[in-house]
Structure 1
Amino acid sequence: MTSPRPTLYLIDGSAYIYRAFFALPALNNSKGLQTNAVYGFMTTLLKIIREHRPDGLVVAFDEKGPTLRHEEFKEYKAQRPPMPDGMKAQIPYIHRVVEALNIPAVKQVGYEADDLIGTLARQAEQAGHDVVIVTGDKDMLQLITPHVRIYDPVKDKWSGDAECIAKFGVEPGRVVEIMGLMGDSSDNIPGVKGIGEKTAMKLISQFGSIDELLRRLDEVTPTRIKTLLTDQADNARLSRKLATIDTQSPVEFHPESYRIKPPHDEQLAELLRELEFTSLLKSLQPSPKQSETKTPAPSIIEDESAAQRFADSLPQNTPLAVHCLFAGHPGVHADLKGLALSSGGHTTFVPIDIHAYMRPIMPLLHDPQRTKVAHDLKATLLALHRLGVTLAPPYVDTMVADYLLNPNRRDHGLETIAMERLGERFGSDKEQQAQPQSLFDVDTGSRDHATEAASWLVKLEPILSNQLTEQGSLPLFTDVEMPLIPVLADIERNGFLLDVEGLHILGKELERELDRMMETIAGLAGGEFNINSPKQLATVLFEKLGLKPL
């Protein structure tokens, strides 16, 4: 029994940079760098690796400057607009992504990515590999063989001989003959002007090749097509040459060099943090080992004297992190199971079921000289209010701070922020081991989760404050956003009064004003009409009133 052939995936890197840039909305990190092309390109790569598990992988890029095709035809791709600045700025980051993922990349002066892919495909096939070319470019169909297929991950579509014949009516080896006649507007390949795809397919199906077609022009009908071919024979030959992928370009296939290897974890994590791809960072970076995240063990306050010792241990005027442990979702009616407090050097957990524990803690929460750091401050204020506890300003809400720094990002969760700024994640192994086994067990996993979160908040406060200062948003954060949160908490807790009678009066006034406006419009139009009808409105504006459209 023969062993299966290893599979090599060849990625048309330049094509997928363009596809990602124009397909995705304009994503930006907090420094203003546009990142949509990098994100789309990277997710495509990761999807291929995850779902298809190739034995080898290579990304081919176009190199700057003219190619051999430009020497043949100066107008080759001349109609294409310059690369957008937003895309151009992302190219170095895409190359860094490929390097950090430990994926080989190839590019060559004078050659396009298509040529490098074609050459590697032929060499790999001869070396006993099955080859998958990842592209959406129809030109690549010419490379299909029994051991070379095309895959478009955007459409999740595979193409082999049958798909090529279904599209062009000919086998892969004759695709360039059709391209030579019909041309390719995307590459500015002229073809024979006046001959489209259907006519080209019919002619090549009948005559087999451009050379044979031109040799037997007397047999071509109708006369119009014969005249076009006679007048543009050189264009047909040139266009076929331009469309032909060079499978002899100066690149060599080395199986071991192109084998899938583990990524460079630290380099990849640093790059993802710089780009602020926190969801990818969380999915790619393994959970930290206990030795990597080991911090001083938090204390558990079990009596008033322990609470007093914690309060006495805190330096004056230092920030205090406050993180609530809820029994359910946070909100006005959320039940509070406990409170994690941290000053950085000392972290503790305060069970809320015995209020006596809180007496020594109250001065800390009321201290106007001590900044209170929380994630989702409004939920914290609402929860403490239910206990009759007031949390005095000044405040720092890490969730709001992250929103100001990254307004286009959807995820402003604490773990996302900690992963990005601190490179830390919740200790999932510890949390799983600590899950309660019965109703009588203490849920130490949730407690540890809360104390870990509180320790992050203290570390994040100076980092986020510095970033807000650099961005110029710190006054907005301290003078507007933070004072607003207690107001929003009060509104959510108390609601607000509506002057129903006043609203009815206002509604009647608006109705009378609207009636007056409709009478004025009807007078100007020379009669009443349905102003909500685009057709009737157009008749009035452009026919009756004679206005010119802009």
Structure 2
Amino acid sequence: MTPTDAQPRTLYLIDGSAYVYRAFFALPPLITSKGLQTNAVYGFTTTLMKIVREHGPDCLAVAFDERGPTLRHEEFKEYKAQRPPMPEGMQAQVPYIHRLVEAFSIPVVRHVGYEADDLIGTLARQAEAAGYDVVIVTGDKDMFQLLTPHIRIFDPVKNKWSGEAECLERFGVEPSRVVEVMGLMGDSTDNIPGVKGIGEKTAVKLLSQFGTIEELLRRVDEVTPPRVRALLAEQGESAKLSRRLATIVLDAPVQFDPSRYAARIPQPDRLAELFRELEFTTLLKSLQPAPEPVQPVAAAFDVVSDEETARRFVEQLPEGGVIGVRCLLAGGSGVLASMQGMALSSGDKTAFFPLDVQTYMRPITSLLNDGTRPKIVHDLKTTLLAFHRMGITLAGPYMDVMVADYLLNPNRRDHQLDTVAFEVLGRRPGSGQAAAPRSLFDADVGSRSETVEAASVLALLGPALTERLAGQGSVMLFRDVEMPLVPVLTEIERNGFLLDVQELHELGKEMERELDRMMETITALAGGEFNINSPKQLAAVLFERLGLKPLRKTKTGYSTDEETLTQLAAQHSLPEQILNYRSVSKLKSTYVDALPALISPETKRLHTSLNQTVAATGRLSSTDPNLQNIPVKGNYGIRIREAFIASKGHELLCADYSQIEPRILAHLSQDPRLIEVFAKGEDIHMATAMEIFGLPSGQITRDMRRAAKTVVFGIVYGISPFGLSQNIGVPQAEARKYIETFFEKFAAVRALMDRNIAEGKDKGYTTTILGRRRPIPELRSGDPVQRGVGERMAVNSPIQGSAADLIKIAMINVHRRLHKDLPHTKMILQVHDELIFEVPEKEMAEAQALVKGEMEGVGSQLGLSVPLKVDMGVGKNWRVAHP
């Protein structure tokens, strides 16, 4: 049993039970798409991986508590009695943790009647006697009693090592006397009583004078002060009992056997299977690729350098099969991305085409434009932008792997190719399995080979993802909505929006003067200068200099966030001025200063990126810059919109769906009153106000209509009485009455909400009119707060998702008609329910009729029970054109 190496070998003993609890309470409640909470498993897994990968122990084991009473319970029935039962969310994770330990090939130690601490202590002492250095992986202070020159403690969470010196620093005594300290001070975590009234400092002081609890009690008359002497006299037996309870057993019925505890290689296939089930995407990617891919992938590829090589490659491809297409991009992103080359692959035949594609384009033009061959791409929009920049066309049918994965996993943030490939095929592009001989290339061999690898993987992913989409019932949504939308988004991004830079420059100077004026006012109100951007200095001004009452404390001091300042504004005018300053400053930095710098030097226009795979509801988002978030209210917000202009001889046309979500609510709920309101062309918010307040339209005030509007949209988003009261400034009881009255008058809406929540809990997801799935695992959470979040999502997602699907269809239909009938009219932006066009002045009337007809016609196309209405506006800038 003695190590044969001259250097002592290491045994790592992991306190498994402690780390399960620690991970569960330390990490947020991660939840899979099927509703399984995984935070404890994830935290535990990362701890294991840290130990195995970074420390490479010779031997290791994980110790778990066994169910049922222990020896300590026999002596003290109240031992750990105060501990609540294991949370529901944790119980479900324990079997996965045991499966993971097995997949890591790590031995497990447990024994009836003994705690994990006892098993660890016994094995540590045995291994030390056998010549091993022992590392106990724990954050539990009880384990300090086990420390010796050859037994140390490592806390991976804090990345902290502890030995005898650290024990002396922590407890004031050497390891052997830690149990004496705990006998006196007790341990509330384990319900060890100790001597009530004696804390850690007093315990250490007493033991430094008397050595042990026995000696202390024998000489109790010498103890000062009298209060402590009395406590010891009354609770001496409790101190002895507590020491026994705190003492780790060193002769538990386990035996250290180096052959049993020797470190073994983890089982990657079992780990990959578990990581997929638990949806640990990052951990899954960290595993090495499987030794062999699921399907054969090209191990080599051709580099096409002339027309004849290109022709041979095309002729060798199987007729009508899929083609994986991957661009090697350089330079900027979006419309500025430039292509260095591209790889084409049928799966078993692959070629790389360098930058000078014009020399051999003729043979592959027919291939790229073959309407019988599906083109499998990852991030089709970027690919189409790069192709257009090169003057190349890529014809459909398309399959965008990124979008397909988004439909299958809408809650997942990472839809990168390596993630999808590893999950579906068990391999990652760039793993080296498809690498070409280095002699073929210059310094960019890695980029080229990875591009080729990606193309071959894409060719394999196409059929596999199509099968998964079919299994989920999402083929129609993918084929008829998401894929036709990509070229539309590509064109919108390419068209861009014209910006009046001079107008923004003048506005920026005006805002700078306004900020200076506001700062003078703020300084006067504050009674002196201070750094307005420093929360600490601002808190000092508000709560010390001005004497305002703090509302909320944070880790760094009293809060000065927007909510706090809004409430403090009722006490003093300074907080209101600071809020105004922050608002103007943010508008200036975010838009007025930033937007001109983002204008393309080539097109002289502003090009956003419309993201198709971000929002789980199906809505599009805008980034770099976010043009969906341009302010619509306030003096400066309106002025910023005035800087978005049409080019000479053109005007902007804005077409905005009117009350689209309430109309979809009417269709989904089939509420007869709601359907009647829209069928008659009435104002839904006025109608709601009349129902809520029980008044005729002539007596409904503007504030009443506004409150009713908030109720309607609040219902769509699952608003609470408290949230509504905050939004419209009425008491919570009154807000509750508004909501209850709404449900009384529109009873089918309540039935729809209840139905959505029930079906979401049953299936684990909600669906839109077109069948778009939104997994809502929060509905099955044991945490009532998380469950409430899930219920609000279940209410809103079918409505918001259906609206997103609807406007996508409208964009496709309008785009198709414009290309056919009005090719000079350009769609330049989508802002949720609004489409914006740049239209030649002479064809504005035709464009309005076309856009309105196509957008409102989607209602009939989807079979909606209520008519759609589109409001339209025309003008030289966005402010004027906005309906």
Q: Into which bin does the TM-score normalised by the smaller protein fall?
A: 0.7 to 0.9
Corresponding position of 1:434? 438
Alpha-carbon distance change, 265 to 533 in structure 1, aligned in 2, over 3 angstroms: closer
1:229 to 227, 232, 248: 232
2:259 to 256, 259, 264: 256
Shift of 1:533: 5.6
Corresponding position of 2:487? 486
Q: After superposition, what is the alpha-carbon deviation per residue over 1:218-246, rounded to whole angstroms, capped at 9, x for unaligned? A: 22333322333333333322222221111
SS at match of 1:80: coil
Shift of 1:66: 2.6
2:37 partner amino acid: Q
How far apart in 2 are the matches of 1:368 and 1:538?
69
Shift of 1:174: 1.5
CA contact (8 A) 1:321 1:372 kept: yes
CA contact (8 A) 1:35 1:275 kept: yes
In the alignment, does 2:212 pair up with 1:194? no
In the alignment, does 2:214 pair up with 1:181? no
SS at match of 2:340: strand
Corresponding position of 1:113? 116
Corresponding position of 1:238? 241
Corresponding position of 1:158? 161
Q: After superposition, what is the alpha-carbon deviation per residue over 1:427-458, rounded to whole angstroms, capped at 9, x for unaligned? A: 5376484266658xxx6654443332122112
Alpha-carbon distance change, 266 to 72 in structure 1, aligned in 2, over 3 angstroms: same
Corresponding position of 2:821? none
Shift of 1:395: 3.0
Shift of 1:499: 9.1
How far apart in 2 are the matches of 1:476 and 1:290?
30
Shift of 1:549: 11
Q: After superposition, what is the alpha-carbon deviation per residue over 1:218-276, rounded to whole angstroms, capped at 9, x for unaligned? A: 22333322333333333322222221111111111012221222223433344344444
In the alignment, does 2:358 pair up with 1:325? no
Alpha-carbon distance change, 126 to 549 in structure 1, aligned in 2, over 3 angstroms: farther
Shift of 1:138: 0.3
How far apart in 1 are the matches of 2:380 and 2:163?
57
In the alignment, does 2:206 pair up with 1:203? yes
Q: Which moved more, 1:374-383 or 1:294-303?
A: 294-303
CA contact (8 A) 2:298 2:347 kept: no
Alignment: residue pair count: 521
In the alignment, does 2:221 pair up with 1:218? yes
Corresponding position of 1:388? 391
SS at match of 1:11: strand
CA contact (8 A) 2:24 2:90 kept: yes
1:56 to 36, 55, 59: 59
In the alignment, does 2:79 pair up with 1:76? yes
Corresponding position of 2:838? none
CA contact (8 A) 1:304 1:358 kept: yes
Corresponding position of 1:526? none
SS at match of 1:256: helix
How far apart in 1 are the matches of 2:106 and 2:452?
40
CA contact (8 A) 2:68 2:113 kept: yes
Q: After superposition, what is the alpha-carbon deviation per residue over 1:32-73, rounded to whole angstroms, capped at 9, x for unaligned? A: 443333332222222223333322111111122332223333
Corresponding position of 2:568? 535
Corresponding position of 1:456? 457
Shift of 1:78: 2.8
How far apart in 2 are the matches of 1:298 and 1:431?
8
Alpha-carbon distance change, 348 to 5 in structure 1, aligned in 2, over 3 angstroms: closer
SS at match of 1:38: helix
1:7 partner amino acid: T
In the alignment, does 2:442 pair up with 1:417? no
1:231 partner amino acid: E
CA contact (8 A) 2:325 2:376 kept: yes
Alpha-carbon distance change, 223 to 477 in structure 1, aligned in 2, over 3 angstroms: farther
CA contact (8 A) 1:119 1:249 kept: yes
1:17 to 13, 17, 20: 20
In the alignment, does 2:269 pair up with 1:266? yes
How far apart in 2 are the matches of 1:229 and 1:126?
38
In the alignment, does 2:123 pair up with 1:90? no
Q: Which moved more, 1:285-294 or 1:194-203?
A: 285-294
SS at match of 2:415: coil
How far apart in 2 are the matches of 1:214 and 1:145?
28
Structure 2 unmatched ranges of 5 or more = 508-547, 549-561, 574-729, 734-883
Shift of 1:279: 4.0
How far apart in 1 are the matches of 2:408 and 2:234?
62
SS at match of 1:428: coil
Q: After superposition, what is the alpha-carbon deviation per residue over 1:280-316, rounded to whole angstroms, capped at 9, x for unaligned? A: 4444426858999653754555565665666566667
Q: Which moved more, 1:20-29 or 1:166-175?
A: 20-29
CA contact (8 A) 2:30 2:39 kept: yes
How far apart in 2 are the matches of 1:40 and 1:94?
10
SS at match of 2:158: coil
In the alignment, does 2:4 pair up with 1:4? no
Shift of 1:24: 2.9
Shift of 1:364: 4.5
Alpha-carbon distance change, 471 to 91 in structure 1, aligned in 2, over 3 angstroms: farther
Alpha-carbon distance change, 295 to 200 in structure 1, aligned in 2, over 3 angstroms: same
1:535 partner amino acid: L
Q: After superposition, what is the alpha-carbon deviation per residue over 1:58-109, rounded to whole angstroms, capped at 9, x for unaligned? A: 1111122332223333332233333333333332222222222222111112
How far apart in 1 are the matches of 2:218 and 2:438?
82
CA contact (8 A) 1:290 1:427 kept: no
How far apart in 2 are the matches of 1:112 and 1:243?
12
CA contact (8 A) 1:300 1:349 kept: yes
TM (norm. structure 2) is 0.53
Alpha-carbon distance change, 176 to 126 in structure 1, aligned in 2, over 3 angstroms: same
Alpha-carbon distance change, 95 to 500 in structure 1, aligned in 2, over 3 angstroms: same
CA contact (8 A) 1:214 1:229 kept: yes
Corresponding position of 1:520? none
Corresponding position of 1:66? 69
Corresponding position of 1:171? 174
1:229 partner amino acid: L
SS at match of 2:252: coil
Q: Which moved more, 1:28-37 or 1:192-201?
A: 28-37
Alpha-carbon distance change, 476 to 168 in structure 1, aligned in 2, over 3 angstroms: farther
RMSD of aligned residue pairs (Cα, Å): 3.9
Alpha-carbon distance change, 305 to 158 in structure 1, aligned in 2, over 3 angstroms: closer
CA contact (8 A) 1:189 1:242 kept: yes
How far apart in 2 are the matches of 1:97 and 1:268?
7
Q: Which moved more, 1:38-47 or 1:426-435?
A: 426-435
Corresponding position of 1:101? 104
In the alignment, does 2:130 pair up with 1:127? yes
CA contact (8 A) 2:27 2:39 kept: yes
How far apart in 1 are the matches of 2:332 and 2:280?
26
How far apart in 2 are the matches of 1:416 and 1:325?
19
CA contact (8 A) 1:26 1:36 kept: yes
Q: Which moved more, 1:271-280 or 1:211-220?
A: 271-280
Shift of 1:120: 0.4
Alpha-carbon distance change, 35 to 468 in structure 1, aligned in 2, over 3 angstroms: farther
